Every structure is written in structure tokens, then in C-alpha cells.
């Protein structure tokens, strides 16, 4: 069975370490916050100017002055800090943020990522994604393995305008987990019940499979 | 120096067709609602607006897009506005999309007397096309120039008549940098107080950057994505 969005988020949450500062992008990455192991301390950074982001507010306690980068209402935690956008990206560029998790439209087997524009069709803008991918120490991309037409999103070369070059380290899709290596996408784990053959057939970029690839355990 | 003016309409005195404006806010959070409404009333047109987003179809800068008062938009993310996307794809609206951190730093540079700087954001992408790139300590960077504006329109929570500003929560966002980068900076505040009422240690934007200030009214403070959790 391919993973659902919550399972993808749950698997990413296992990559978090005690003391990490983490920036979670819009979409599936936001769900990672629901699965942070209770025994570790992780601080969430939101690039609109918040360090120490808390959960959604209780109904009736929403504050229009307190949102995350996805414009969702959020809360503060004891020890949170607020700052302006320039300071926010100072901490991102200076690599104070330990892990960035974001979505993508395409990833290439050299670590290039495309996520912000489909020429002539959809132009939403890059927001903070270009700053994040250009500077982050560690980037995990999470996305569906194929697009709605069934075409692979793990490619030899991105066809869409790039967000960053050679920056993606790891990818988690509904079918498996991959490391970006000089030889291509190295399959490190597969979703429960998903075969290596299925992953091969749905991966357009170079795929590296070494020995027995273990199934993810939940 | 007393910089208070009566209201938004008076504050915009001297703002003419074709000028470049900075408008604070992130999404609809921390936008100068009163000044945007006054711009719409004034009918001024051919504006270049520098703002992280472009509002939504019927609020924020979306109001000025609908009335075709904006000629060019410089922003990082415009996904929330269908009219914006339509005008951009049809070529009616000139658009410069730039990375959010680069936008913030270009405003900060403009307000700090720094004409250019190097950032890694956008290296190897179309954002870097036509710009100088340079290697520093083994990594490639793109040269970006400062941004300055004829008018900077910002929103603060509290301000005194000297122009000292205090922002609240994430409504701070781009407002402090934009306040620094305006030839004329107008601040609208929810609470206008006398000098001395704000602890000098708590000032976020020193009054020297602010030229006109007024107490705004009828704040709608619309929420784009109301997300809540259930009580256990």
C-alpha cells in the first residue's frame, strides 16, 4: 500500500532529533508537527517571523496577528520569539535552521528541485522556498511519487523552472524513501507492500537499489 | 517632532501616479488597511507596489488590482489571488517575483544605505538571469540590489507621535524594513500614544524612519486560513 499523507509525515518525523530547529513548508510538511516524538524537543521556525510555533488555537482564540507562513492561525509557546522577515531569513541563510521539509513538483537525480512555476499555466511564486533550499544544511522533500497523470516526479532532469540546484538530500514519497547520491536516487526504504519493481517503473531518474531494501515500519 | 496627521487621506498627500510604493504585511496579516482603502479612494494609478503578497481578490492589495491601479507588482508569493494570476498571465500586469528572503533583505538594504549584496537564493535559477554571480569560500552567490520607495506604507500595533513603532506578533513581518526604505514613510497604528508612553527599550522601529503617523480605524484584520483545534 502506498503511504497516505499522514504516514509520509509520520515517517519524516522520525528524522527529527532533539534540539533541532525545523522549518516545515506548506502542505504535507505541516503535518509533520502532529507526529513529533514526545521525548524530544524540536523548535519550529516559521519564516514569516516566528520561532517556537505552537499548535492551532482553540476555537474562539484565533488571533489575526498570529499566523504561520501558510497564513494559518497558530499559537505561541512559552519561550517563543517574534522577529521581522529580514531577521527570519538571516537565521535561514546563516544555517541556524537544522532541517527544512518542503514539497515539490519535480526533483532531479542530481538534487535539483522545481516547485514554484508552471510556465503559462500556474505562477504562485517561490515565497521563501528559494532562500530555504539555497541555504539549508539538510533538506527533505516530500511529495507524491507521480503526478495526477501518472508521470514520475523523480526525474533525470527537471522540466519546470528550478527553485534550487543540487540541494535536495532526501526524498520521501508515497512509495518510498530515497537519498540523493552521485549515482542517482538511492532507494533506502519502501512503503509497506510496495515492490522494488513498482518503484523502478515509476521512477524516471537514475535509481540505485542495493541488496534487500527494507519496508518502512509504522 | 510631532508627526501625527488626521487620517489616511491626509497622510497620502503628494502620492502621485506612477510612483513606487512599499506596502507592509504578510498575506493579510499586518497590512495597512486604512492606507490601502485611501489609495483606492484616491484613484491614483500606474503604481509599482512592492509587497510580499498581493492580498486576496476583495481585500488588501487585491482591491487596487481589481481597480487596475497597479502597473507593476514586486512580490514573492501571489497564490491567494485569482485576479492577480489572471492579470499576470494575460500580460496586463507586470510582475517581478523574487525570493522572500531576498525581498526582505533588499528592503533592509534600501533602508540601510547598502546598494547591493550577495545571497545564495536563486543561484542557478531564472531569478539569477542577467545578474552578477560570484564565488565566496567555495559557494556561489547572486548579487541583488537594494529596493527603495517613494512611499512606504506600514502598519504597527502602537506608535507615538514621534513615529516610534511597536509591532504585535507576526504582524511585524516586512513592516520594519519597509519603514526604513521609504522616502516618505507613513505608519498607521491601532494605538497612537504620546511620547513617553512607549518604553524606549521596547521600540522596534525608531521614529527617525517614520514621517507621518495616524491612528487607524475600523480594522477588519481578516484571517485567511482560520485553523483551530478541538478542546480535548
Q: Please judge whether A120 and B89 are an interchain contact, meaning their C-beta atoms are less than 8 angstroms apart.
A: yes
Give the Cα separation of B145 and A90 in Å (integer). 17
Residue B223 lies in a domain: no
Chain B residue closest to A80 (CA)? B169
Interface of B with A in 135-164 (CB under 8 A): 157
Residue-wise pLDDT tens digits, B165-218 = 999 999 999 999 999 999 999 999 999 999 999 999 999 999 999 999 999 999
Q: Known catalytic residue: A47? A: yes
Residue B124 lies in a domain: no
Which of A73, A125, A129 lies closest to B227 in CB terms? A73
Backbone φ, ψ for residue A34 (5° rounding): -75, -10
Residue A73's alpha-carbon distances to A31, A58, A60, B23, in angstroms, are 15, 10, 11, 22
Residue B132 lies in a domain: no
Q: What is the pLDDT of residue B106?
A: 98
**Site from B55, B101, B191 to mutate, A interface, most A CB atoms within 10 angstroms:** B101
Residue B16 belongs to a domain with what CATH number?
3.40.1080.10
Which of B76, B105, B204 lies closest to A86 in CB terms? B105
pLDDT at residue B89 greater than cutoff 90: no
Which are the contacts of B66, defined by CB distance < 8 A and separation ≥ 6?
B57, B58, B83
Give the Cα separation of B139 and A165 in Å (integer). 12
- Going by C-alpha positions, the residue among B60, B52, B33, B54 that lies closest to residue B177 is B52
Q: Please judge whether B29 and A83 are an interchain contact, meaning their C-beta atoms are less than 8 angstroms apart.
A: no
Q: Which residue in A15, A47, A61, A62 is the catalytic one?
A: A47
Residue-wise pLDDT tens digits, A113-165 = 999 999 888 788 999 999 999 998 899 999 999 999 999 999 999 999 999 99
Give the Cα separation of B80 and A40 in Å (integer). 35
Residue B191 lies in a domain: yes
Which of B125, B157, B176 lies closest to A164 in CB terms? B125
B126 touches chain A (CB under 8 A): yes
**What is the pLDDT confidence band of residue B84, given thresholds at 50, 70 and 90?**
confident
Residue-wise pLDDT tens digits, A168-212 = 999 999 999 999 999 999 999 999 999 999 999 999 999 999 999
Our CA-based measurement puts residue B102 at a distance from the nearest CA of chain A, in whole angstroms, of: 7
Q: How many domains does chain B have?
A: 1
Give the Cα separation of B22 and B178 in Å (integer). 6
The boundaries of the domain holding residue B27 are 8-117+147-215
Residue B220 lies in a domain: no
pLDDT at residue B77 greater than cutoff 90: yes
Q: What is the pLDDT of residue B82?
A: 85
Residue-wise pLDDT tens digits, B99-143 = 999 999 999 999 999 999 999 999 999 999 999 999 999 999 999
Residue-wise pLDDT tens digits, A6-33 = 999 999 999 999 999 999 998 899 999 9
Residue B222 lies in a domain: no
Residue B152 lies in a domain: yes
Our CA-based measurement puts residue B83 at a distance from the nearest CA of chain A, in whole angstroms, of: 12
B171 touches chain A (CB under 8 A): yes
The DSSP result for A91-155, as a single string, is: HHHTT---EEEE--SEEETTS-EE-SEETTTEE---TTHHHHHHH-S-EEEE--SB-TTS-BSEE
Residue B84 lies in a domain: yes
Amino acid at each position: 500500500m502506498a503511504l497516505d499523507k499522514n504516514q509520509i509525515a509520520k515517517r519524516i518525523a522520525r528524522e527529527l532529533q532533539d534540539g533541532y530547529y525545523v522549518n516545515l513548508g506548506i502542505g504535507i510538511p505541516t503535518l509533520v508537527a502532529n507526529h513529533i516524538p514526545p521525548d524530544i524537543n524540536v523548535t519550529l521556525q516559521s519564516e514569516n517571523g516566528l520561532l517556537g510555533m505552537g499548535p492551532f488555537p482553540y476555537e474562539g482564540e484565533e488571533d489575526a496577528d498570529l499566523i504561520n507562513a501558510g497564513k494559518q492561525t497558530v499559537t505561541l509557546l512559552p519561550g517563543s520569539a517574534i522577529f521581522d522577515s529580514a531577521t527570519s531569513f538571516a537565521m535561514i541563510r546563516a544555517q541556524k535552521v537544522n532541517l527544512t521539509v518542503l514539497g515539490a513538483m519535480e526533483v532531479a537525480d542530481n538534487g535539483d528541485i522545481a516547485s514554484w512555476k508552471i510556465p503559462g499555466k500556474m505562477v504562485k511564486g517561490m515565497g521563501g522556498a528559494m532562500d530555504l533550499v539555497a541555504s539549508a544544511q539538510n533538506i527533505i522533500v516530500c511529495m507524491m511519487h507521480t503526478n495526477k497523470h501518472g508521470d514520475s516526479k523523480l526525474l533525470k532532469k527537471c522540466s519546470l523552472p528550478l527553485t534550487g540546484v543540487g540541494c535536495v538530500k532526501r526524498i520521501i514519497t508515497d512509495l518510498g524513501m530515497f537519498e540523493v547520491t552521485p549515482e542517482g536516487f538511492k532507494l533506502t526504504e519502501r512503503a509497506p507492500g510496495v515492490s522494488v519493481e513498482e518503484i523502478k517503473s515509476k521512477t524516471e531518474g537514475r535509481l540505485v537499489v542495493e541488496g534487500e531494501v527494507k519496508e518502512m515500519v509504522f | 517632532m510631532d508627526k501625527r496627521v488626521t487620517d489616511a487621506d491626509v497622510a497620502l498627500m503628494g502620492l502621485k501616479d506612477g510612483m513606487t510604493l512599499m506596502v507592509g504585511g504578510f498575506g493579510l496579516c499586518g497590512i495597512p488597511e486604512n492606507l490601502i482603502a485611501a489609495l483606492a479612494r484616491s484613484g491614483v494609478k500606474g503604481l509599482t507596489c512592492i509587497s510580499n503578497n498581493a492580498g486576496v481578490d476583495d481585500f488588501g492589495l487585491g482591491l487596487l488590482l481589481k481597480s487596475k491601479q497597479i502597473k507593476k507588482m514586486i512580490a514573492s508569493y501571489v497564490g491567494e489571488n485569482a485576479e492577480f494570476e489572471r492579470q499576470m498571465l494575460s500580460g496586463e500586469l507586470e510582475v517581478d517575483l523574487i525570493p522572500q528572503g531576498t525581498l526582505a533583505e533588499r528592503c533592509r538594504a534600501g533602508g540601510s544605505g547598502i546598494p547591493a549584496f550577495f545571497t545564495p537564493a536563486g543561484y542557478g535559477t531564472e531569478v539569477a538571469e542577467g545578474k552578477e554571480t560570484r564565488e565566496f569560500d567555495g559557494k556561489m552567490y547572486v548579487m541583488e540590489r537594494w529596493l527603495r520607495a517613494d512611499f512606504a506604507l506600514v502598519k504597527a500595533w502602537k506608535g507615538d507621535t514621534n513615529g516610534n513603532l511597536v509591532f504585535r506578533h507576526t504582524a511585524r513581518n516586512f513592516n520594519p524594513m519597509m519603514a526604513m526604505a521609504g522616502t516618505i514613510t507613513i505608519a498607521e497604528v491601532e494605538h497612537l500614544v504620546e511620547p513617553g508612553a512607549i518604553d524606549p527599550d521596547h521600540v522596534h522601529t525608531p521614529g527617525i524612519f517614520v514621517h507621518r503617523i495616524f491612528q487607524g480605524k475600523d480594522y477588519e484584520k481578516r484571517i485567511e486560513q482560520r485553523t483551530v483545534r478541538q478542546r480535548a
